Amino acid sequence: MRVGFTPKQVTRLTGVPYSTLNLWAKNGLISPTIAAGAGSGNERVYSFSDVVALRVAFALRKAGVSTRSLKRVVRFVRENEGIEKPLAESRLVVSGRDVLIVRNDRQLVSALSKPGQSCLSFVVDLPRTLGELADVAEVTSAFAVGVAQPELALRHSRKRPVPAAISEQRSRARG
């Protein structure tokens, strides 16, 4: 037995309006995989994967991606990445007017503007970077002066000797 969701449940779970849900089912963007609801009195039934795809599609639409562009992204990902349910199984990123597919932690590929072209990507791990800066700050607190008025900074720097390692680095840099 498969777990299924009615259109009413899907609209509550995803925020997708019923009219949009109906349109996407009719034009084939995201069709229900459990029951198509053909004919009068038969309700469409969506799988969990369909619900995920609807939520992703709705988020992409809110980010400015047109329905036509969504169809192009789905087609590209299916054909070039071999992913059967692109909106439910792939990681997508909106960047300006492009939609990028995340292949791994180092590679993004355009799925819309320049399909197939890799993009330069890097992610700054802010918590790690801040931790590293905090570690450096602890080590250098013996000679860090901070921000002060110029005459106070001069008086303060004369009171604290520069650590030997820093003095050595400075002399190497000069000469």
Q: Which domains can be identified in the chain, with CATH numbers? A: 1-62 (1.10.1660.10), 64-123 (no CATH), 126-174 (no CATH)
User: pLDDT over 90 for what percent of the chain?
Assistant: 55
pLDDT band with cut points at 50, 70 and 90 for residue 39: low
Which residues are 94's β-sheet partners? 99
Q: What is the pLDDT of residue 126?
A: 81
- Given the structure tokens 């005459």, which residue do they identify? 151
Could you tell me if 152 and 146 are in contact, meaning their C-beta atoms sit under 8 angstroms apart?
A: no
Q: CB–CB of 35/44 below 8 Å?
A: yes
What are 126-157's pLDDT values in tens digits? 888 888 887 777 766 655 555 555 555 555 55
Rg of the chain in Å (alpha carbons): 28
pLDDT tens profile 94-117: 998 999 999 887 889 999 999 999
DSSP string computed for 47-75: -HHHHHHHHHHHHHHHTT--HHHHHHHHH
Which pLDDT belongs to residue 65?
A: 95
Q: Residue 162 gets which letter from DSSP?
A: P
Looking at residue 166, its amino acid is I
Note the pLDDT tens digit of each residue in 78-96.
999 999 999 999 999 999 8
